[in-house]
Amino acid sequence: MSSHAPGHANKPRDIKRFLVGIFTEEEQILSVTKAATDAGLPVHDTFTPYAVHGLDAAQRLPRSKLTFVCFAGAALGFMTALSLQAYTQAIESPILSGWPLNVGGKPFLPLTAFIPVTFELTVLFSGLISAAGLLAFCGLFPGRKPRLHIDGVTNDRFAIAFDPSAKLYDEVRARDLLHSHGAAEVYFVGENA
């Protein structure tokens, strides 16, 4: 059942290697992940062509903290927008003074008139900061190679990876588990630097 992916067999020792099981069905990756976590085998990660519902629970992944990043971005945008408008429309200061302009006698600090721009900048800041946060949290950037490149997981394969250096890792049990859940292939994959 097991095979060695060509090109990964003779890697130098300092490259970290992971035991990978390949599956062809969504149900298999869900059940094998759940079984591994339940059995106390530390799952390094799973790899899927699309977001599989329930897999994060099976893997016992915590909720993403990006919601807080998004909220911080929104708060920053909100305050930037309000202070920018208040400063430029109404405040006369000794340094870089605004120039309060009388437009048809309209009030200088009309908060209702500031709502649209405040809203837009809130959305702009929170959206951009959340997106940047996603890239930062996942370590994604242009030109990066996938840390663990497993053939087929962006197409029609589902993979589970075990880290041999993890504390409770047991290769025999891991291989047994993979085979008993119908792994199409089991092999080692080396990490990209």
Partner 1 sequence: MSSATSSLREPLVTGNPSLAQISDDICAPMERKPSLLWWAAFLVALSALVIGFSAIGWELYEGTGTWGLNKTIGWGFDITNFVFWVGIGHAGTLISAILFLFRQKWRTSINRSAEAMTLFAVMCAALFPLIHMGRPWFGAIWVAPYPNLRGPLWTNFRSPLVWDVFAISTYFTISAVFWYIGLIPDLATVRDRARTRIRKLIYGILALGWSGSNKHWVHYETVYMLLAGLSTPLVLSVHTIVSMDFATSVIPGWHTTIFPPYFVAGAIFSGFAMVLTLLIITRVVLRVEHLITIHHLENMCKVIVATGMMVGLAYATEFLIAWYSGSNYEGYTFFSNRATGPMSWSYWIMVSCNVISPQVFWFKKMRTTPWIIFVMSLVVNVGMWFERFVIIVTSLHRDYLPSSWAMYDPTWVEYLTLLGTFGLFFTLFLLFTRVLPVIAIGEVKAVSRFAKPHAHGAHGSAIGAGPGLDPHAALSSSPVQALHSSSPVEAGSHV
Kindly state the smallest distance separating residue 32's Cβ from partner 1, in Å: 8
End-to-end CA distance of the chain: 29
Q: Which residue in the set 4, 116, 165, 171 belongs to the binding site for partner 1 (CB under 8 A)?
A: 116
Q: Is residue 15 within the footprint of partner 1 (CB under 8 A)?
A: no
Q: Of the candidates 124, 98, 120, 119, which has an alpha carbon nearest to the alpha carbon of residue 109?
A: 98
Task: Enumerate residues 118-137 that contact partner 1 by CB under 8 A.
Answer: 119-121, 123-124, 126-128, 130-131, 133-135, 137
Determine the Cα–Cα distance for residues 26 and 123; give it in Å rounded to an integer: 36
Q: Is residue 166 within the footprint of partner 1 (CB under 8 A)?
A: no
- φ, ψ (nearest 5 deg) of residue 16: -70, 135
Instruction: Using the rule CB under 8 A, give the single segment among 7-15, 108-116, 165-173 that binds partner 1.
Output: 108-116
Instruction: Using the rule CB under 8 A, give the single segment among 5-13, 14-22, 116-124, 163-171 that binds partner 1.
Output: 116-124
Determine the Cα–Cα distance for residues 157 and 178; give it in Å rounded to an integer: 14
19: β partners: 162, 188
Task: Enumerate residues 33-72 that contact partner 1 by CB under 8 A.
Answer: 34-35, 45-59, 61, 63-64, 66-67, 70
Kindly state the smallest distance separating residue 167's Cβ from partner 1, in Å: 19
Q: Is residue 167 within the footprint of partner 1 (CB under 8 A)?
A: no
